[in-house]
Amino acid sequence: MADLRFAGIGMTSARTRDRLVQRLREQGISNLAVLDRIRNVPRHIFVDEALGSRAYEDTALPIGFGQTISQPYIVARMSEALLEGGPLGNVLEVGTGCGYQTAVLAPLVERLFTIERIAGLLDRAKERLKELDIRNVKFHHGDGTQGWKSQAPFEGILVAAAPLAVPQALLRQLAPGGRLIVPVGEDGKQELMRFTRREQGVTRESLGHVAFVPLLGGKG
């Protein structure tokens, strides 16, 4: 039963997913492990059934609570940017949302810690990941701008919502060589940034312009 639901038919079938993967390749995504996850994670189970037929379009879709599931290109781009430079042990994700990005990334890292401020979203994400038998994820309901001190340092941190400025707590929780992928800036003017902790300090690179929901303080 579950297998059939995950495999999909028609607009959620393997062929539809292959088209999405092809499109991401054309847009420059080249990490094969990431493309493989985009092909295999059933994005349609993370959205409302009525939106299922649009799950493999390269677009953000509503998931309730005024939030959206990230666009596949962005999930792929952020995952690729995080994984460049070698395998990762402890990784922190801020902004679990429906758990789609979490499901894409989890098998590509050793342990994934994920924080969401809206309890209703976090509960649903937990359920979905359990259904998919993904077991290396720890969930936390809270404010991700503070990071997750008791589990730090992290070799990778990925932020799925945009702060106006980089949260210092996240930079502090980066391990030596660790990288933080985060969209920074106000609505309409955000830039995807990669910060890397090196011996001499933290370096920064821009990965291009993006559009994210804002990173908010406090619990929802």
The footprint of ligand SAH (CB under 6 A) covers 63, 67-70, 94-95, 97-98, 100-101, 115-118, 121, 143-145, 160-161, 213, 215-217
Smallest distance, ligand SAH to C-beta of residue 155, A? 19
146 versus 177: smaller Cβ distance to ligand SAH: 146
For residues 81 and 181, give the distance between their C-alpha atoms in angstroms, rounded to a whole number: 7
- Residue 70 designated active-site: yes
Of the residues 13, 30, 53, 70, which is catalytic? 70
Write phi, then psi, for 30 (nearest 5 degrees).
-125, -10
Pick the closer one to ligand SAH by CB: 11 or 169.
169
For ligand SAH, give the closer residue by CB, 40 or 177: 40
Closest contact distance (angstroms) between CB of 28 and ligand SAH is: 20
Q: Which residues are catalytic?
A: 70
